[in-house]
Amino acid sequence: MIRIRRWLLSRAPGLCAALLGIFMMIYGLWRGEGEVVLAKAIRICMECIGIG
C-alpha cells in the first residue's frame, strides 16, 4: 500500500496531465472537432503532399 502511494505521488504530475488530456479529448469530440480531423484526413491533403 505504501509503495502504491509512493508510486502515485511520484507520478502525480504525469497522471494529472493524462487525466486532463482525457477531459480535453472528450470536450473536443463533444464540440465536433473530430469531424474537422476526419474531413481533413479522408481527403488527400494537397498541401501535405506538396501539390496544393
Q: Which element (helix H / strand E) includes 30?
A: helix 12-30
Distance of CA 41 to the CA centre of its chain: 16
CB of 5 to another protein, least distance (A): 11
Q: Which residues bind another protein (CB under 8 A)?
A: 3, 6-7, 9-11, 13-18, 20-29, 31-38, 40-52
CB of 4 to another protein, least distance (A): 10
Residue with cell 508510486: 7
Q: Which is nearer to another protein, 1 or 52 (CB)?
A: 52
